Chain A
Amino acid sequence: MTPERWRRIEELFHQASEMAAESRAAWLDGACEGDKDLERQVLELLASDDEAGGGFVEGHVGAALKEFDAAPAPAPERRAGPYRLVREIGRGGMGTVFLGERADEQYHAQVAVKLLRTGFDTDFFLARFRRERQTLAQLQHPNIARLLDSGTSDDGMPYIVMEYIEGQSITDYCARERLNIEQRLSLFLPVCAAVAHAHQRFVVHRDIKPSNILVDTAGTPKLLDFGICKILATEAAPDLTMTTGATMLTPDYASPEQILGDPITVASDTYSLGAVLYELLSGCRPHRIEKMTPQAIERAICGEDPPRPSAVALRREDSRRLAGDLDTIVLKAMQKDAARRYASVEEFVADIRNFLEHRPILARPDTIGYRAAKFARRNRGAVAAAVALTFTLSAGLLATTREARRNERNFAIARSLASSFVFEVHDSIGVVSPTKVRENIVRIGLKYLDTLSAGASGDAGLQLELAEAYRRIGEVQGNVMAANLGNTAGAMASYRKALALVEPLPASRASLLSEARLYRKIADIEIYTKRPMDALAVLERGVAAGDRLLRIDPQSAESRSAVAGLHLTAGRVKRMMEDRQGTIDTARRAQQVLMAGGGTPTDPEVRALVAESFAAMGTGQMMLGQPKEALDNFRKAATAWDGLCGQAPANVEFQRQRMLAYSHVGDVLGNPSYSGLNDRAGARDAYRVMMDTALSLHRADPHDHRSAVDYGIATMRVADTEDEAGRKAKLFSEASRALTEVVRGDPRNRLARLNLASVERRLGDVIVGSDPAGARAAYQRGVRVVEAMEWSEPAAERVGVELYRSAALLALRQGLGEEARDYSDRALRVAERIVASPSSPLLRFVSVPKAYQLRGEAMEKLGDAASARQWYERAVVAWGRASAMPGFTDRYRDEKKMAERALERLGGRAAR
């Protein structure tokens, strides 16, 4: 079947499948234009589609899987040397452990046979297996499972034979035998002795956990499984030392250095012994690992101090016995900082003996003073902001405790927040990055807030406080207008929770202010992650709350800022929808609110919003095709920001706004995409200010997605105004790199996606002469990015059509007719969407003639002059329509002429 016919069948199939079943046949009859075979094929496919119902392939694969599972497993009787393998009793990283018996019946003793697994007989594993055997041979201790024999099985697999220990894990044993504290300690001491014995031979076990400590029928504890042990002070091959750490750990007993992949020493075993003792004494594991995600494990092990064993002990009499010395001993062994643990297992043993013999112990508990000092020491630099937020949060919630005092439960929770929240955060500061700290704040903060708000109903003061706290958390999570963690979904959830708390409250200044602010935040995220027009409904509700607020409080800077902010946000949406008048109207309304009462505003937030409204006004004027007026407003905005930045040089947000103001100035002066004043040099100067500011903001906080996007866009703009091709290409590549990184980390970031697609097109256009393959790859990347946006906004359509055009023209040049045709098909589909929508402003509409023109060019190159002429005709007509719209500039005029000339070349006549 030819590809054309296949495509036709597919097209008809999809069109028909969207119709009601009864009308398909008649429609198809018409659509197939008498091609009965075509009609039959589509009808059969439609029937199959109905019958298959989407579960056809799934059913087949499912049945095959079932059968796969049902087939008997190959289970031949196995032997290892003279040992018969009776059954599998365990599986380790590279080996399987079997219960074995001497096949030659020399003696009947049962043994444990560890065999290297099939597929693992590489040099690496063989070496490692040998090493475990050598290690075991060195270790002869009554509390370490003995090595009995070793060899190579008939099929060439090495094996080791160990003492088979019939018993149960040390924790199960203690529970079943109901051992008291002293008995448990006495059982634990020989385990420590076994570990110390290994340490003396430079062997670190690295996987000490209850299931590796079995108590045999005689009541003797035995340490097993040196499978991942590490030998200190011997010269192992480098590949061994590099990778041996990464095997089979159990997070509950693993030390922070193991979790973080840091160097491992004997102190790691001390930590694990401490964790085992913790569980032996209290009956609980030291950490509550809620989810088995890397983050959760790291948080639990490295970020959270375990509660004192006495606080969690299952039996009350144990709790009393544990409080004090035993708590101190266990927690000393489990210090996160290896240097603060017992210096050796022997010291740990000595302290346990001190306790058993009623002597004073060596370990000292951490005092609050010590922790506070440690906290203050660590509270520096980039971390300071996060910590400040923590304090604000907990201080806010402490205030709520006054309200909550009536409610015993809330009070208790708020109090625990005040203590443990700060301490949990403080610990995480020591070991992880600022972003991690902020994530910690968010997680813990949300936990407390959720609990508190469950009981907050009916208490207006508490509800407002909680809403405020949720808003701040949302800010850290993903406020798209400020430095954030890129978690917009989480931020949205927090804002919604806050809104649910304040909306039912009776109208007051505080509740309305809170509502107005929250609606703006929610709209910001919707603009960022969804279709911008959806945000308008949210903003309308916000403005309604804002109007009520202004009736109660028309004067304060706070309420004026909140309401003006809503108008300006609505203006941003109007701008994205390319609603010119709407853009100007909203800016004007914002200025009215801000200037109400007359005089020059002094409050920085109000001043900032005034500057923003200048910029918004300028944007509207640009869209109306009034560049001179717009430039005037943009310069006013830039000057206002220069002043605000001088007043508050550390304010990152002001810096960013200044950067944006300069970007606008540059756009008016010379961005070729706008109806510019064609002052390229002036534009480049403005863009360089923009790029430098963006870069310094990005460097100040590399995790902040927003400054990365800014930097990408700024770099693209400088590249646009650059004259030399090599420099241009370099700058575009840099912009692509920066934006790709953002899109990877935050795939919902539409601004980054849009600009990335655009950068790829520009990069391709610059290098298309010198490096066609590179250009083609750039176009393909751009097309992928823009198509994934599903035409959710006019800008995507424009970028998309431009990409298709560039890609198609290149394909034509390379003789790839089909590819060019495919791209022009896609461009036409976009054009159809635009034509189908009721009214499209020029910036959106120009994609239509461009798509027609492209199809004409493709058809012409493919040798179909008649079709090409038709498309050129359409392009000329569409350009005619475009030229009647405001904003039609010389650049478009040139394109229009190009279409007319093409048409004349093919013997058609441009309609006048």
Chain B
Amino acid sequence: MNLRLFYEFLAIHPTLPLQYRLMSSFPDPVGRERVTQLLADWRTGSKEALDLLTPLVYDELRRLAAHYLRNERNAATLAPTALIHEAYLRLAAQELPDFESRSHFFGVAAQLMRQILVDHARRHRAAKRGSGLAPASLNEALSFAPERSADIVALDDALSELARQDARKARVIELRFFGGLSVEECGQVLGISVATVGREQRFAEAWLHRHMTA
């Protein structure tokens, strides 16, 4: 069947798992084509494309994040996976996307995910500094300790540093954790074996840990 229609069904079908129904903002193929085009433009350096893209994807990521964090035990693992995959299903204009556009998409989406999370943390940190607001509740204070936002920014910096030394390792981290790709998918996108992904990831994680704690 027409795959486009299918994802639109997903958005509203009442017997569906909630995560699918949450997605409802880009059901139109033209909307999706536009997003896909923007992703491509952004990748080739268009700052304007990112400005246009972010609000579109933001909304979606946010609602999905909320859903996963509330419903899944292992939110940290599931969230990015689900986000990117669902975003892909919903954003990609191709009906039966070929391998290249698929990996292209995941690569770009992981980057975008990273950027959105880091920008958000940066803004949040700046806002907190500016207003000096205390956390709204004890609960919030516990679960969102203020250094958290610094952490993702530090991770981002460390990752950029790693990329300068060894770009592939940084890509592995980005795809695996910001893109939520499985080891196999990550291997496919980068054209390396599963074993290599595992090795790259292990070393990169150790390196990032050391770099950030040193």
B-binding residues in A (CB < 8 A): 1, 6, 10, 13-14, 17, 44-49, 51-52, 54, 56-71, 73, 91, 93-94, 117-120, 122, 124-125, 239, 243, 245-252, 254, 258-261, 289, 292-295, 297-298, 302, 744, 780, 784, 787-788, 790
Contacts and interface: CB of A to CB of B under 8 A. Distances in A.
B138 interface: no
Contact of A46 (B116, B117, B206): B206
B112 interface: no
Nearest to A299: B1
B30 A119 contact: no
Nearest to A261: B2
Contacts of B194: 790
Contacts of A294: 1-3, 6
Contacts of A67: 120-121, 124, 144, 148-149, 152
Contacts of A293: 6
B166 interface: yes
Given A52-B209, A94-B31, A292-B6, 19 more contacts: A1-B165, A48-B206, A56-B209, A57-B208, A58-B77, A60-B155, A61-B76, A65-B75, A65-B80, A68-B117, A119-B56, A120-B31, A125-B31, A249-B8, A259-B1, A260-B2, A292-B10, A294-B3, A744-B98
A306 B162 CA distance: 59
Contacts of B143: 66, 70
Contacts of B65: 65, 68-69
21 contacts: A13-B203, A14-B203, A45-B207, A48-B207, A48-B209, A62-B77, A63-B152, A64-B117, A64-B120, A64-B149, A67-B148, A68-B117, A73-B62, A119-B52, A239-B30, A245-B5, A248-B12, A250-B13, A260-B2, A294-B6, A297-B6
Nearest to A301: B1
Nearest to B11: A248
Given A258-B5, A788-B193, A61 B121 contact: no
Contacts of B34: 122
Contact of B27 (A59, A245, A247, A258): A247
B151 to A, nearest CB: 5
Contacts of B178: 61
A66 B65 CA distance: 8
Given A67-B124, A243-B28, A51 B209 contact: yes
Contacts of A66: 69, 75, 143-144, 148
Contacts of A239: 30
A799 to B, nearest CB: 15
B213 interface: yes
Secondary structure call for the A interface: helix
A403 to B, nearest CB: 38
Contacts of A252: 13
B88 interface: no
Contacts of A261: 1-2, 5
A69 B77 CA distance: 15
Interface string B144-160: 10001101100100000
Contacts of B203: 10, 13-14, 45
B9 A292 contact: yes
Nearest to B55: A119
B205 interface: yes
A64 B6 contact: no
Contacts of B47: none
Contacts of A49: 202, 205-206, 209
A56 B69 contact: no
Nearest to B28: A93
Contacts of B61: 68
A788 B98 CA distance: 19
A784 B1 contact: no
Nearest to B3: A294
B66 A63 contact: no
Contacts, number: 199
A787 B192 contact: yes
A60 B148 CA distance: 8
Interface string B1-38: 11111101111110110001000110111110010000
Nearest to B98: A744
B79 interface: yes
Contacts of A68: 61-62, 65, 116-117, 120-121
A62 B121 CA distance: 13
Given A66-B143, A69-B65, A292-B16, A56 B149 contact: no
B195 interface: yes
B104 interface: no
A48 B173 contact: no
A65 B165 contact: no
B177 A61 contact: yes
B132 interface: no
Given A13-B203, A48-B207, A61 B120 contact: no
A259 B5 contact: yes
Contact of B13 (A14, A64, A118, A292): A292
Contacts of B151: 60, 63-64
Nearest to A124: B30
B24 to A, nearest CB: 5
A51 B52 CA distance: 40
Interface string B174-185: 001110000000
Contacts of A63: 76, 148, 151-152
A289 B52 CA distance: 37
A740 to B, nearest CB: 10
B5 A246 contact: yes
A336 to B, nearest CB: 14
B45 interface: no
A60 B117 CA distance: 11
Contacts of B118: 64
A768 B173 CA distance: 35
B191 interface: yes
Given A250-B12, A258-B5, A297-B6, A790 B208 contact: no
Contact of B1 (A14, A69, A250, A297): A297
Contacts of A14: 199, 202-203
Contacts of B202: 14, 17, 49, 54
B121 A94 contact: no
Contact of B210 (A48, A70, A73, A120): A48
B48 interface: no
A108 to B, nearest CB: 31
A60 B152 contact: yes
B141 to A, nearest CB: 11
Contacts of A292: 6, 9-10, 13, 16, 20
B121 to A, nearest CB: 6
B28 A94 contact: yes
Contacts of A44: 210, 214
B76 to A, nearest CB: 2
B140 A70 contact: yes
Given A71-B124, A250-B13, A57 B177 contact: yes
A247 B52 CA distance: 23
Interface string B98-119: 1100000000000000001110
Contacts of A250: 9, 12-13
A490 to B, nearest CB: 19
A91 B76 CA distance: 29
B2 A54 contact: no
A615 to B, nearest CB: 34
A58 B8 contact: no
A45 B206 CA distance: 6
A65 B79 contact: yes
B58 to A, nearest CB: 9
Contacts of A118: 55
Nearest to A791: B193
Most chain A beta carbons < 10 A, residue from B5, B27, B80: B5
Given A61-B76, A67-B149, A247-B8, A117 B1 contact: no
B29 A243 contact: yes
B25 A62 contact: no
A251 B210 CA distance: 52
